Structures are given as structure tokens and as C-alpha cells.
Amino acid sequence: MPEAKLYSLHGLRKLAVVELAEAGCSDAEIQSVTGHRTADMASYYRRKADRSRMSKTAQQRREQKGDESPKGKS
């Protein structure tokens, strides 16, 4: 059985897109770094990163709200 590659170029490229998106880069900026010919893939991964960031922010707000509630009350 052949050994699996530790990294793939596709995976590294995807990671770059996600990290650039999380850093707030525009689709055009992401595309210029990653070499995507169209903005479709950059946009796709940026939207995924945006959803992930919004989810984390929402969960943090929920936890903060729970910390503010009076003790003994649900």
C-alpha cells in the first residue's frame, strides 16, 4: 500500500485562500496571491471563512451573555 502524501498542493492552496480570507483580503487580492483564474473559488472559500468567523463571534457573544445572567437563573 503506498504512503499518503503529507501535503497536497491543492490543500496548501486552499489553506492560503482561507487564511487570506480570514485576514480580511478581498476576492481580487486572494486571487492574485493564489493564482486562481476566476474569482469563483476565492469567493467560495472566503464565504466559508466568513461563516466560520461569524459562527465563532456568535458563540462568544452567547457565552458572554451567559456570564452576565444572574446566578441561579437559567
- Dump pLDDT digits (tens) for 25-63: 888 999 999 888 888 888 887 788 778 777 888 899 999
Please report whether residue 25 resides in a domain.
yes
The verdict on pTM exceeding 0.75 is no
Number of domains comprising the chain: 1
Give the position of cell 480580511. 24
How much of the chain is in helix, strand and coil states, percent to nearest 5?
A: 70, 0, 30
Cα 70 from Cα 2, distance rounded (Å): 59
Please report whether residue 1 resides in a domain.
no
Domain extent for 40 = 10-61
Say what the pLDDT of residue 29 is: 92
Please report whether residue 29 resides in a domain.
yes
Does the structure show a pLDDT above 60 at 74? Answer: no
